[in-house]
Structure 1
Amino acid sequence: MTADNHHTRVGRRAFLSNGSLVLATAALSAKQVVADEGRSALQIGLVTDLHYADKPAAGSRHYRQTPDKLAEAAEHFGKHDPSFIVELGDLIDAADSVQTELGYLKRINKDFAAIHKHRHYVLGNHCVQTLTKQEFLDGVEQQRSYYSFDSGAFHFVVLDACFRSDGEPYGRNNFQWTDPNLPAAEVEWLESDLKATDKKTVVFAHQRLDVTNQHGVKNSAQVRQVLEASGNVLAVFQGHSHKNDLKDIGGIHYCTLVAMVEGSGADQNGYSLLSLDADGTIEVKGSRKQSDYRWTI
């Protein structure tokens, strides 16, 4: 995307349509408004904050209900045949021993891996509470904790903010969950990666890049500057704070998705199908507690 197009993104405004937040340019041509029924979009299944654990509920978190909730999401994704699926962190909850936590991971990943052969895992703080990053990655058969890939007309980036302020990676209960950071090496990699592509880009993260409270990445302002400078980043999808939220900062949509673990019963589930059109139009079709969004350039 050119710099001029990036400036156009910054000028979008928000309005409500059928209860959903829509972002659009102030002036759209008739050609842009009319949907192209024949256009095929890239579809992606999204879930976050499953927190699976074989332990009693604590507060609003019902850990043992996650497999049933995930099964519903799997059925839904199966009907739409997404190109790949992404879990945005905290696939498991913490355990008091490495072996127990590995057991949680093996149990829930068996179900998650069966949904789709193409899948991506974002590291959440609970994923590496007792485990090391390597143990988690080995358990889900993923080589790296942050990386990028292309699919269709789009570029995708998976980030890892599970690092302390001093640059040490999370693991073995060596961190405070309120101290997430992207270390200098990852920020440098991100900048280089974005410069190397001219494709429209979507970013996946766990800890939030749009807030400065306890749920936010400590150096989020620095990371946002890198994302904005590329001129190609359309949106960031993230979890961690367990609730629907949406912010538009510097022309980039920061969409926070609801946690699957929150609440008891099928109606308390939350998952979504993300559709990306070649023209940059983004649609989030949420299920259960997950909100719907549509963003049009």
Structure 2
Amino acid sequence: MQDRRSFIQNIGLAAGTTLLAQSVFAIPASESGQKKKLRFGFITDLHHLQFGKPEDARMQGFIDAVMKENPDFIVQCGDFCRPTKTAGITGIMEQWNRFKGPKYHVLGNHDMDFCDKETIMKMWDMPERYYSFDRDGFHFVVMDRNFLKKDDGTLVDYNASNWGPLPSPKRSFTDQKQLDWLKEDLKNAQHPVIVFMHQPVFLSDFFDELGNANDILKIFDEANFNAGNKKTNNKVAAVFMGHDHDDRHGERNGVHYFIINSASYVYTNSGAHYYKDPLYAFITLDPAGKLIIEGRSTTYIKETLDEVRARFPTRISDHSVRL
């Protein structure tokens, strides 16, 4: 985050932006009576050990809430930690693993500040860098957008901060192998699709750091067009993203996109502004065709600039939208 946010340029863009598009699909009533509501806990951009600051207490706060709410699963959407060695994440992993239900990881750029993908995935017990799974009438997709585009057009994995010296337009790419997999996965899905990724493909004001986002949006559009023609129930319904440390919702071609705020801080030209309490959300998917986000609000730890407080609210907003 610290090398990307242009606070002065972005001051006029309001958080919580909503862009209107086509209405999204609803799950047939004949099916909804056969399925239960699904609820999961969501946290992103914890940034454990960013600026040398441990975030064990924030993780404990999230997991305490998880243990109380007992969701069907939990997911962290990237920039979880930046360890220099395994011992550096022992505390937060112990907290994370207090929840005995299913747990899912998404790779974020800062997770590879000091290591490669294989190393951090081993620390997390994350078998694949991108994958999908079904649960209770929904299909979930996890993506990896952590590739750099070299001058010759080839892509290379993020590894030990190798993206730092490169200009923003060369970041946040998704490899062709994964794009091909995504097309097939969406085509073969049997249920409404929910996508998790770290770097946004929509709503972001980091316009020069979208990588090949248009390739992904095109795949989503084509998948939903084909599903509509065949009258199947495997449309992409919602996409959850982190990375921007912001709180936004928009709708594009029948898909709800959410940028979920950081658990820990926002970074501007004036530095890192930390939140007093951790931010996280519990998200409910109702087979009747509704998505509900129960967010959380806090304050800044220290008195900060008026323009920072105005531009970057310390919250994850509540939402209730039709799917």
Q: CA deviation at 1:213?
A: 2.4
Aligned residues: 258
Choose which of 180, 185, 188 in structure 1 pairs with 2:172: 180
Where 2:118 maps in the other structure, the secondary structure is helix
Aligned amino acid, residue 290 of structure 1: I
Distance 1:123 1:158 in 2: 9
1:148-184 CA-to-partner distances (Å, cap 9, x unmatched) read: 0001100000000011122211112322483010111
Choose which of 58, 71, 81 in structure 1 pairs with 2:70: 81
Q: CA deviation at 1:71?
A: 1.6
Aligned amino acid, residue 243 of structure 2: H
Contact 2:239–2:258 under 8 Å retained in 1: yes
Where 2:80 maps in the other structure, the secondary structure is coil
* Unaligned segments of structure 2, at least 5 residues: 1-15, 24-28, 225-234, 266-272, 298-314
Where 1:229 maps in the other structure, the secondary structure is helix
Distance 1:227 1:24, change over 3 A: closer
Runs in 1 of length 4+ with deviation above 4 angstroms? 19-26, 36-39
Question: What residue in structure 1 maps to residue 57 of structure 2?
Answer: 68
Aligned amino acid, residue 89 of structure 2: L
Q: CA deviation at 1:101?
A: 4.2
Aligned-residue Cα RMSD (Å) equals 2.8
Aligned pairs (5 A) from 1:193-212:
193-210=185-202, 211=204
Aligned amino acid, residue 51 of structure 1: H
Distance 2:113 2:17 in 1: 36
Is residue 139 of structure 2 the alignment partner of residue 164 of structure 1?
Answer: no
Question: What residue in structure 1 maps to residue 262 of structure 2?
Answer: 259
Question: What residue in structure 2 maps to residue 42 of structure 1?
Answer: 38
Q: Normalising by structure 1, what TM-score?
A: 0.79
Q: CA deviation at 1:216?
A: 4.2
Identity of aligned residues (%): 26
Is residue 218 of structure 2 the alignment partner of residue 225 of structure 1?
Answer: yes
Aligned pairs (5 A) from 1:214-293:
216-231=209-224, 232-262=235-265, 263-264=273-274, 266-267=276-277, 269-288=278-297, 289-293=315-319
Question: What residue in structure 2 maps to residue 191 of structure 1?
Answer: 183
Where 1:192 maps in the other structure, the secondary structure is helix
Contact 1:212–1:218 under 8 Å retained in 2: no
* Unaligned segments of structure 1, at least 5 residues: 1-18, 27-31, 57-62
Question: What residue in structure 1 maps to residue 4 of structure 2?
Answer: none
Aligned amino acid, residue 113 of structure 1: N
Distance 1:168 1:20, change over 3 A: closer
